[in-house]
């Protein structure tokens, strides 16, 4: 009998080493290596045995009767998934503790449009605790089955006996496989449990949603291969002191990865936000320097977002540059453009930029809004409250064209804005679109020209 060997694996990223290391060379984290027992593969006749009863099928012989999906009953969730939960898919949902992952999935269990059963497997709560939370959320689906279990062998038996259409596993870090000697939540356990759930989903055509814990950096805890194995990875984001939550797809084999869903956490659970633009602008103050509105695009959804800037003389030798909801390096770059191309002497001023509502923007189409907010606060002149800004700013001070300008302008007109400043490169596209009669579209070629119109 061969001797059982062990190795060390990083619990943050899954990097493996024969010896213990203080610092992981892959993710640069300290004291993350834990000892794992190396599993001996099953052999037959001196070679690793694998069944060979599978035969390849020609692509022309495969018959697909449409893409079968389950509607979750929540439009925001269906938007992010690309139209609903695909049968036989494995979905991973991650997020900070207390952000509302279990609440979201429990509400989906109540509203999902399935013909058979929904099985909710919890490794963190008892069925009575789940029932208390379900009563608070008014969950009353008669086809919803709940069980508190952490054994993967018991989960396989439940799947064979109950034959549900949808399975919720909360969470993957609490499940364990008795065939492995490592503790639940370890790298090998998470990898093997996920692989087992993937086999169940693909062979039985059952849709499975699993909850994954995140590290302090915000990444899914466990090996990186976990995100590669699943079909869809969703991140549930939000600030603790704010009631708004954002569901974002970072991987989706059956839909777009740019879509987001917006929810609001209330005492009755998560409520969908149908009109996020009006929500983000609900508390805006009139005629205040440093406040502008930009039109951002998240997937196919245009959103109007307020950007605020505060510029004041510095009290230190080196001025401060702070950004909330925007890239700090991008803010520094745009301020350099203002200094060089417009002549604003900002090197002795502190600058603070904030995206209202806890939204994070990363697309270049919001550059013109950031520049206008900083210039407005510096000159102490407000931008017209009925104006929306759209455009990417280059290093030479030019305002470059952006994509899908028609959707952005149409959203501004729908909310009630009267003016819109857009790049000259989009003039041809805007002229071709009919229905912009209710908004005055102004075209600019550079930052200097835009600031002359706005201020």
Q: Over the stretch 93-107, which tens digit does the pLDDT of each residue have? A: 998 888 889 999 999
Q: Which of 222, 256, 274 is the last residue of a domain?
A: 274
At a CB cut-off of 8 Å and minimum separation 6, what does 74 contact?
Answer: 107, 108, 111, 261, 272
| Side-chain-side CA neighbours of residue 337 (13 Å) | 25
180 and 310 within one domain = no
Is the bond leading into 171 cis (omega within 30 degrees of zero)? yes
Structural domain includes residue 243: yes
- 222 with 236, same domain: the answer is yes
The reply to whether 74 and 216 lie within a common domain is: yes
Residue indicated by tokens 């191309």: 341
In a domain, 53, yes or no: no
Query: Which residues are within 8 A (CB) of 361 and not within 5 positions of it... i.e. 6 or more apart?
Result: 294, 296, 305, 307, 325, 326, 355
Q: pLDDT tens-digit profile of 181-237?
A: 777 887 788 888 999 999 999 999 999 999 988 876 667 766 677 888 899 999 988
Are residues 41 and 133 located together in one domain of the fold? no
Q: What is the per-residue pLDDT for 287?
A: 81
- CATH code, 126: 3.40.50.300
Question: Are the beta carbons of 311 and 299 closer than 8 angstroms?
Answer: no
**Taking each helix axis from N to C terminus, what angle separates 367-379 and 447-454, rounded to the nearest 10 degrees?**
50
Is residue 138 a part of any domain in this protein? yes
- CB distance 125 to 150 below 8 Å: no
367 C-beta neighbours (distance < 10 Å), count? 27
- The mean pLDDT value for 398-421 works out to 92
Please count the structural domains in the chain.
Answer: 3
Residues 92 and 240 reside in one and the same domain: yes
| Statement: the pTM of the whole predicted model exceeds 0.95 | no
Tell me, yes or no, whether 209 and 117 share the same domain.
Answer: yes
Q: What is the pLDDT of residues 140-188, one digit of tens each?
A: 899 999 999 999 999 999 998 999 999 999 989 899 888 877 778 877 8
* Residues 268 and 283 occupy one common structural domain: no
Are residues 183 and 321 both part of a single domain?
A: no
Is residue 60 situated within a structural domain?
no
Task: Tell me what percent of the residues of the chain surpass a pLDDT of 90.
Answer: 50
Give residue-wise pLDDT tens across range 366-391. 999 999 999 999 999 999 999 999 99
CATH number at residue 26: 2.20.28
Q: What is the CA radius of gyration of the chain?
A: 26
Asked whether residue 57 is domain-assigned, the answer is no
Q: Which of 274, 290, 314 is the last residue of a domain?
A: 274
Q: Are 126 and 271 in contact (CB under 8 A)?
A: no
State whether 111 and 225 are in the same domain.
Answer: yes
User: Per the domain annotation, does 58 fall within a domain?
Assistant: no
Neighbours of 163 (CB within 10 A): 12
Q: Tell whether 199 and 222 lie within a shared domain.
A: yes
Q: Are 288 and 274 in contact (CB under 8 A)?
A: no
pLDDT score for 39: 59
Q: What is the CATH classification number for the domain harbouring 364? A: 3.30.230.10
Query: Each residue of 250-268: b (16+ CB within 10 Å) or e?
Result: eebebbeeebbbbbbbeee
Domain boundary among 237, 258, 274: 274
Domain span including residue 25: 6-48
Co-location of 259 and 300 in the same domain: no
Residues 74, 201, single domain; the answer is yes
pLDDT value at 448 more than 50: yes
- pLDDT of 40 above 80: no
Confidence band (pLDDT; 50, 70, 90) for 68? confident
Please name which of 208, 85, 234 lies closest in space to residue 155, comparing C-alpha atoms. Answer: 208
The CA-atom distances, in angstroms, between 312 and each of 241, 346, 353, 374, 384 are 27, 9, 12, 10, 21
Residue 62 lies in a domain: no
Average pLDDT over residues 54-74: 81
Q: Please state whether the peptide bond connecting residue 364 to the residue before it is cis, i.e. omega within 30 degrees of 0.
A: no
Sequence-distant (≥ 6) Cβ neighbours of residue 199 within 8 angstroms: none
Q: Please state, in angstroms and rounded to a whole number, the distance separating the CA atoms of residues 11 and 368.
A: 43
Separation of alpha carbons 18 and 455, rounded Å: 64
| pLDDT band (50, 70, 90) for residue 46 | very low
User: Over pLDDT 70: what percentage of the chain?
Assistant: 92
Does 335 map to a domain? yes
> Averaged over 300-324, what is the pLDDT?
90
Two tokens, residue 13: 């990223």
Hey, CA dihedral for 337, 339, 344, 348, is it positive or negative?
positive
């Amino acid at each position: 009998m061969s001797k059982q060997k062990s190795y060390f694996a990083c619990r943050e990223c899954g990097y493996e080493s024969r010896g213990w290391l203080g610092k992981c060379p892959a993710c640069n984290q300290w004291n993350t290596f834990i000892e794992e027992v190396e599993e001996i593969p099953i052999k037959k006749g001196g070679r690793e045995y694998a069944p060979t009863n599978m035969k390849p099928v020609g692509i022309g012989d495969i018959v697909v009767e449409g893409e079968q999906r389950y509607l979750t009953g929540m439009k925001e969730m269906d938007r992010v998934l690309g139209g609903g939960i695909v049968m036989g898919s494995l979905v991973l949902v991650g997020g900070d503790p207390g952000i509302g992952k279990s609440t979201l999935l429990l509400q989906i269990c109540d509203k999902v449009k399935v013909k058979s059963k929904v099985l909710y497997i919890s490794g963190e709560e008892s069925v009575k605790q789940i029932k208390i939370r379900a009563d608070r959320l008014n969950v009353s689906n008669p086809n919803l089955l709940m069980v508190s279990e952490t054994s993967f062998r018991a989960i396989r038996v439940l799947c064979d006996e109950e034959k549900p259409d949808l399975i919720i596993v909360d969470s993957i870090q609490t499940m364990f496989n008795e065939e492995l000697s490592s503790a639940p939540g370890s790298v090998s356990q998470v990898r093997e449990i996920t692989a087992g759930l993937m086999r169940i989903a693909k062979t039985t055509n059952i849709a499975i949603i699993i909850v994954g814990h995140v590290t302090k950096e915000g990444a899914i805890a466990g090996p990186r291969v976990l995100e590669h194995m699943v079909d869809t990875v969703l991140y549930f984001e939000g600030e603790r002191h704010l009631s708004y939550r954002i569901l974002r797809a970072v991987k989706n084999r059956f839909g777009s990865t740019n879509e987001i869903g917006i929810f609001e956490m209330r005492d009755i659970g998560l409520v969908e936000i149908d009109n996020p633009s009006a929500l983000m602008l609900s508390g805006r103050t009139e005629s205040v320097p440093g406040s502008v509105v930009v039109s951002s695009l998240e997937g196919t959804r245009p959103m109007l977002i307020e950007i605020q800037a505060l510029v004041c003389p510095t009290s230190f030798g080196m001025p401060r540059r702070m950004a909330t909801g925007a890239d700090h390096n991008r803010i520094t770059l745009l301020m350099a453009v203002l200094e060089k191309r417009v002549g604003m002497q900002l090197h002795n001023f502190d600058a603070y930029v904030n995206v209202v509502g806890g939204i994070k923007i990363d697309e270049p189409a919001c550059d013109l809004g950031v520049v206008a907010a900083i210039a407005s606060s510096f000159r102490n002149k407000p931008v017209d409250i009925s104006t929306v800004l759209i455009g990417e700013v280059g290093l030479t001070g030019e305002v470059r064209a952006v994509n899908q300008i028609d959707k952005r302008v149409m959203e501004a007109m729908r909310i009630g804005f009267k003016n819109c400043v857009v790049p000259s490169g989009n003039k041809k596209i805007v002229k071709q679109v009919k229905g912009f009669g209710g908004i005055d579209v102004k075209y600019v070629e550079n930052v200097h020209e835009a600031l002359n119109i706005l201020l």
